[in-house]
Structure 1
């Protein structure tokens, strides 16, 4: 239900200034349609690469030009924001557009009048949609309603990344900002070194978590009750159906877009906790996750297109809180720009280190030993930065 100022329970003085901006998030699953339309209208075949152009060129510029918004909803508005179903539909509608675009893309790739370069461009555009769909699945998968959890798994099928549903909720949120977490990047670790570690580590962690869960219920891990196997079955059915509809020649392109999609997720993962570490308590347990353990950004454009993912500290404090209610924390470390710009930097390790390493060091008051260090670079980092102890 939407909020109305004449409701006795609704805060009369506050309205979400980004309320209608959240609809812009639906432009991302429309990328294949946008590509097709722009090529038809202009004859410029570069527009088959719309997803790459928007994600890596246009978004970073727009993020910089629009700037930041650090305003929080008042506490009195949180309950009403959470109950307003308009915001849920902004995420629900991503899925039909996502899969309509995937079908359109398969048809365009296999109908025969696209060059190989055009097909690759369209494939990466589809992969961009699939990668941001993992973020949509992230928003839906944290919720308690069964419908949203099912939609989360459907959104993940395009990338074969359904194990993310298990590992993120039950692994990453427990081990975040610790050396044991495959999804928390370490100071001195490049994205290209992080990528295989997080992909393999997250998959094996998800399998172990499911094996443990099913063992407690006295069930075999080799069944569709295993949510990892269930997710793979869903992806297999999707790819098989598309291959039957458009021919087996579509499968290599589906594989490429899936890999590009989950790599897009992982480069965002790389930025979120880089170098940050929770301290061990006297009892040998890690301290509770706090705002200081996530890199945040209040850049408006990235936050609108990613459902406030950049207010990551509040998400870790309140995983079931809906995106429209997430808050800014002054004590959380701040990235110099939004995710759109940061992922471009992450692809170039020297640039990333130049921008981020000194920020990690400053966050820990110059004591590099408090950071989450890449083991192979530990000696080099200690020699370079020393300690304050």
Structure 2
């Protein structure tokens, strides 16, 4: 393994990243619409326009189980070297042109491909899957200090009209994570279907408040073009406007559908990441510093490769600007029973989710349910059910 500047420690010479070329597998995701088209052409089965759903909710969870876990960390002396290696950045950058090529191709198919209603529905959802995982690409880019990467983050978010995530995630969620005040931290006893409207509306309001305050500090109106919420939304408006001009107004409902599915895919992952976990108040009245115990992690290697180590979430919260290839596993972090691919399927079915996750939250807190982040409306029921274990 080599870097632009070459190795500069003995560790650099002897240690090799075993996942170095596996990161390119992440580029399979933006190929979903092309894969769906090829499969339909080869088989004549219109059902295969739903290839995105099949891959996301069936094949990826099975692959996660088959390939197992990888808890190995890079040596500390290799971290700076790993972060300088621009190869890893290009694995991220390349997602965007493939994502948008797939979007344009999908829009042509939706309007000129002669698809049935069910076929267009399946293709729109497949496009939404690409856009939703594209938000994870935006997440990786948006935490970086280089302006070009932060700009590319907004580009990745334009397809889902979720540009405000760029603001809320970095300056809202990372400050309030694992607290009742955070709209992106799910509470014990809260179903995904109750979490969804709370996080979608709460994150939007929070992003606007944060950016309004920043504009006030600069002595500018919140309606300034420098407002990062507005200029991110403007990118979506330009993108959607150009696509509608190119392919006709009949495309608009399908664009809206893929956008909603895309940002909902982000939110179901948000639901998984901090479910029931709570930071305590210190004697000063502030919340304790975010620690590995405040994020659910998973070392299932397949999902981690597809999602650029997003599942090593504890290290990400401890070091938000650390690049994905250098994120570490923590033994003390609570571990999910499988990767995100399987967990999001469980999240859609609240009884299954509660059966799998509630007792893990309880065990994480040594049986003391009062230490968890409880859904206010379910508090009494949870205390009645689990109180005897405290």
- CA distance in 1 between counterparts of 2:316 and 2:388 reads 32
- CA distance in 1 between counterparts of 2:145 and 2:388 reads 44
Deviation at 1:387, TM superposition (A): 6.0
Q: What SS does the aligned partner of 1:386 have? A: helix
Tell me the matched-pair count.
Answer: 389
Deviation at 1:43, TM superposition (A): 1.4
- CA distance in 1 between counterparts of 2:140 and 2:10 reads 25
Aligned pairs for 1:1-389 within 5 A: 2-3=2-3, 7-9=7-9, 11=11, 12-386=13-387
Runs of 4+ in 1 over 6 A off after TM superposition: none
Q: Residues 34 and 10 (structure 1 numbering): CA distance in 2 closer, same or farther, change over 3 Å?
A: farther
User: Contact between 1:132 and 1:306, CA under 8 Å: does it hold in 2?
Assistant: yes
Deviation at 1:5, TM superposition (A): 12
Deviation at 1:388, TM superposition (A): 6.4
- CA distance in 2 between counterparts of 1:6 and 1:357 reads 48
TM-score normalized by the length of structure 2: 0.98
- CA distance in 1 between counterparts of 2:177 and 2:206 reads 13
User: Contact between 1:2 and 1:85, CA under 8 Å: does it hold in 2?
Assistant: no
User: Contact between 1:68 and 1:299, CA under 8 Å: does it hold in 2?
Assistant: yes
TM-score normalized by the length of structure 1: 0.98
Q: What SS does the aligned partner of 1:330 have? A: coil
- CA distance in 1 between counterparts of 2:87 and 2:236 reads 29
Deviation at 1:222, TM superposition (A): 1.0
- CA distance in 2 between counterparts of 1:71 and 1:227 reads 38
Q: What SS does the aligned partner of 1:28 have? A: helix
Q: What SS does the aligned partner of 2:184 have? A: coil
Deviation at 1:8, TM superposition (A): 4.2
User: Contact between 1:369 and 1:387, CA under 8 Å: does it hold in 2?
Assistant: no
Q: What SS does the aligned partner of 2:335 have? A: coil
Deviation at 1:41, TM superposition (A): 1.5
- CA distance in 1 between counterparts of 2:310 and 2:164 reads 20
- CA distance in 2 between counterparts of 1:86 and 1:229 reads 32
Q: Give the alignment's Cα RMSD to 1 decimal.
A: 1.4
- CA distance in 2 between counterparts of 1:30 and 1:339 reads 20
Deviation at 1:9, TM superposition (A): 2.8
